[in-house]
Structure 1
Amino acid sequence: MTVVPGLRSGTVNLICDRCGDSVEAVPAVLAEPEVVWTVLVEQGWEGSPFAVGSHRCAGCVVASLVAAPPEVGGPVDAATGPGGWQVDVEELPEAVVLTPGGDIDALVVDVLREALAAALSGDRDVVLDLCRVGMLDSTGLGLLVRAHREARQQGRSFCLVAPSRFVLTVLHTMRLESVFLVFDHRAQALACLAAERPDLSTPGR
Structure 2
Amino acid sequence: MDLQLSVRPGRGCTVLEVHGELDMATSPQLREGLQRVADAGDRRVVVDLAGVGFMDSSGLGALVVMFKALREAGGRLCLAAVQPAVHSVLMVTSVDQVIDVYGSVQAAEADMSSRDATAS
TM-score (normalizing by structure 2): 0.88
The gaps in structure 2 that reach 5 residues or longer are none
Please give the alpha-carbon distance, in whole angstroms, between the structure 1 residues aligned to 2:100 and 2:87: 12
Of 67, 72, 86, 2:4 maps to 86
Letter in 2 for 1:108: T
Give the superposition deviation at 1:100.
1.1
Report which of the two has the higher share of helix. Answer: 2
Q: How much is the aligned-residue C-alpha RMSD, in angstroms?
A: 1.9
What is the aligned partner in structure 2 of residue 151 from structure 1? Answer: 70
Aligned partner of 2:86 in structure 1 is: 167
Partner of 1:109: 27
**Aligned pairs (5 A) from 1:26-105:** 82=2, 85-105=3-23
- CA displacement at 1:120 relative to structure 2: 1.7
Distance 2:28 2:92 in 1: 25
Report deviation, 1:170.
1.2
Structure 2: how far apart are the matches of 1:175 and 1:154?
23
What is the letter of the counterpart of residue 54 of structure 2? M
- CA distance in 2 between counterparts of 1:164 and 1:113 reads 20
Find the aligned partners of 2:90 and 2:118 in 1 and give their Cα distance: 33
Compared CA separation, residues 153 and 187, structure 1 to 2 (3 A):
same
Aligned pair count reads 119
Sequence identity percentage: 32
> TM-score, normalised on structure 1?
0.54
Gaps of 5+ in 1: 1-70, 72-81
- Which protein has greater RCO, CA pairs closer than 8 Å, 6+ apart? 2
Dislocated runs of 4+, deviation >4 Å? none
Residue number among 92, 95, 99 corresponding to 1:180 in the alignment: 99
Query: 1:99·1:128 contact (CA, 8 Å) conserved in 2?
Result: yes
Q: Which has the larger radius of gyration?
A: 1
